[in-house]
Amino acid sequence: MVRPDGGADGFLDDIIYIFVPFLFFLTISGLCYLKREIAKKTLSLREKIKEHKLAELALLESREELAEIFSMSLDLICIADINTATFLKVNSAFTRILDYPVAGIGQGSASRGSHGSRTHPRICDHSSGR
C-alpha cells in the first residue's frame, strides 16, 4: 500500500504486520518441540542410568557371591596364569590341604609342582589332560 504522502512504508508495515506474528508462532512452536525432545532424551537417559546402576549392583552381588564360594569351598581352588605358570590366587583349602604358604602365592611357579620336599601335580599336567 502506498501512503497518502506518497511513501511505500505502508507496504513494509503490512508485511511486518503479517510475518512477525507468523515468525513468532514458528519460534514458539520450535521451542515447544525442543522442550519435548529434551524431556524425552532426559527420560531416556534417566532410564539408562537406572539400568546401569541395577547392573552394577547385580555385578557387585555376583562378585561377592563368587568370593564367598571361593573362600568357603572345601575343594581346592587355584587360579593360575598358564602362560607364566604362576599362582594368582588360591583358596584356604588349597593352602591347608597342600600346605602351600599364602605368602608364596605369586612368587613360586605353579608348573614346578614342588613345595619344599613335597611334590604336587603340575598345572600343565591337568590342563593338557595328562
My answer on whether 30 and 59 are in the same domain is yes
pLDDT at 21: 87
Q: What total number of domains does the chain contain?
A: 2
Clarify whether residues 90 and 36 are in a common domain: no
130 or 56: whose pLDDT is higher?
56
- The CB density around residue 87, as the number of other CB atoms within 10 Å, is 20
- Are 57 and 7 in a shared domain? yes
- Spell out a b/e string for 22-49, using b for 16 or more CB atoms within 10 Å of the CB, else e: eeeeeeeeeeeeeeeeeeeeeeeeeeee
For 49-105, write each residue's pLDDT tens digit. 999 999 999 999 999 999 999 989 999 888 888 888 888 888 888 888 888 777 666
DSSP string, 56-114: HHHHHHHHHHHHHHHHH-SS--EEEETTTTEEEEE-HHHHHHHT--GGGTTTSBTTT-E
Residue 97 CA: distances (Å) to CA of 59, 74, 90, 92:
31, 10, 11, 8
User: Do the beta carbons of residue 98 and residue 76 sit within 8 Å?
Assistant: yes
pLDDT at residue 60, as a whole number: 96
**Can you read off the three cell numbers belonging to residue 36?**
519435548
> Residue 36 is part of which domain span?
1-72
Domain closes at, from 44, 72, 100: 72
pTM of the complete model = 0.49
66 and 81 inside one domain: no
Residues 11 and 61 in one domain: yes
* pLDDT score recorded for residue 30: 94
Which pLDDT score, from 0 to 100, does residue 41 have?
97
Domain co-membership, 67 together with 116:
no
pLDDT digits (tens, 9 = 90+) for 103-126: 666 655 554 444 444 454 555 545
